[in-house]
Amino acid sequence: MTLNRIHKLAATAAALAALFSASTANAASASLEGWALMPANTFADGPTTGQFASGAGGNPLPLVNKQSVQGFSAVLAGPTAGSYYFMPDNGFGTQGNSADALLRMYAVTPNFKTALGGTGTVSAANYNTGAAMSGFTSGSYINLSDPNNLLSLKIQADYKRYYNNAANPLVDPSIRNDRLLTGADFDVESVRKDKNGNLWFGDEFGPYLVKTNAQGEVLRREIGMLGVASPQNPAVINGTISATLGSSRGFEGMAINPNGDRLYTLLEGSVTGDPAKTLRINAFDVNTEAYTGEQWRYQLDANGTNIGDMTAINDHQFLVIERNGATATGGGTPFKKIFSVDLNKVDASGNLVKTEVVDLMNIADPHDLNGDGSKTFTFPFVTIESVLILDSHTLLVANDNNYPGTGGRDLGSDNTEFLKIHLDQALNVAAVPEPSTYALMLGGMGLVGFIARRRQQR
């Protein structure tokens, strides 16, 4: 092999790498690689919940001496390969019905059904080790709490009776004694881990950012956003300011850069005065614990009404789940898609340019992994709120079942489904090769050169 041929091969390899990492305007082909299901009636230990909510789908409330694991609104990598940290939202959907629903993160291990096998079941895992557990009991989750009374807000733990109403039941002693946070305190919809191992939760009621340590203990006062307030914001309630955002339209999505020092918050609703169906993305500096002033606009699709999650591909590209509220049984046409955006690319209107990555209502399922008799998989749930990049070709996606909500696939309470989706077109998960990759590349080039020299010597 001549050196000229080696140079040509290297150039070809570089061109192929650029081709596979580049963004295009076309949606990537997607297929279902793995599927698992967690039944709607999956419960964890804890105080009685659902005392202020209504049952549905044949599942009455309250749940005595237990908590619903619920569907999930955010996901992080777990303690071991194949395990994940999943976060439910505030419980039963509103501030007024979730005072006894604990804010938690659970360790979960799906056993994906694939073309090669797998059970398609989901089990609890130890939160610290990832070891299998027989159920969602103590050790499989963390509770969010404010043990040092750092929040400026009144929380349920501050009251004798739920909602500080003499007609309501007593606040559970575990909530009061440990100052546990509940769905009446915050509606957490997103979570990220920073470079220091601390957790940042995105709330919809304020909207607020809530910082905790790895155990879920609040580390500082909640952080609001200047000029943005929902009707549930205490300052709006007491008349100090006016609401500029719809109810529960706060930080549904939040990403963090690969370095773990910059958050990107994505609102679910348009701020008063902003163009219709545009959502703000704001950059937040983890080091200074303040917004940087950088802002972008995400434009909802004509068929889209809400976003579900946002996660970073690299330091300037992100995935966003977008949806409407239609389901398989509720009428209308379900719109559930994942788009990519690049902070460096905006259109003539100043909105981020979107590229479709996955149509969640049209995924190839050649092995019929969910057993519905179709080679095309659809995901018609109301809310799809968790996406995690497993590698450049694979996404993990899960729905929020809004327990005991119904209508996703039938009239019973929705299950929580976990998807492993294969993308034919790779995501550019690293802007530049890591040092180890450079070493491998250089080593490989050195090996090619060595072989060439050996051949020339023969």
Question: Residue 440: its pLDDT value, please?
Answer: 36
User: What percentage of residues in the chain have a pLDDT greater than 90?
Assistant: 86
The tens digit of pLDDT for each residue in 93-119 reads: 999 999 999 999 999 999 999 999 999
Question: Residue 29: its pLDDT value, please?
Answer: 86
Question: Residue 447: its pLDDT value, please?
Answer: 37
The tens digit of pLDDT for each residue in 10-36 reads: 443 333 333 333 333 344 589 999 999
Of 18-22, 297-301, 410-414, the poorest mean pLDDT is in 18-22
**pTM to 2 decimal places:** 0.88
Question: Residue 331: its pLDDT value, please?
Answer: 84
What's the rounded mean pLDDT across residues 35-60?
98
pLDDT at 65 over 90: yes
pLDDT at 159 over 80: yes
pLDDT at 436 over 90: no
Question: Residue 320: its pLDDT value, please?
Answer: 98
Question: What is the pLDDT confidence band of residue 430, given thresholds at 50, 70 and 90?
Answer: low
Nearest to 216 by CA among 178, 163, 256: 178
pLDDT at 9 over 80: no
The tens digit of pLDDT for each residue in 352-388 reads: 999 999 999 999 999 999 999 999 999 999 999 999 9
CB 148 within 8 A of CB 218: yes
The tens digit of pLDDT for each residue in 338-359 reads: 999 999 999 999 999 999 999 9
Domains of the chain plus CATH, in order, are: 23-427 (2.115.10)
The tens digit of pLDDT for each residue in 180-230 reads: 999 999 999 999 999 999 999 999 999 999 999 999 999 999 999 999 999
pLDDT at 260 over 80: yes
Mean pLDDT of the chain: 90
Rounded distance between C-alpha atoms, residue 221 and residue 210, angstroms: 7
pLDDT at 236 over 50: yes
Q: Token digits for 178? A: 């440990």
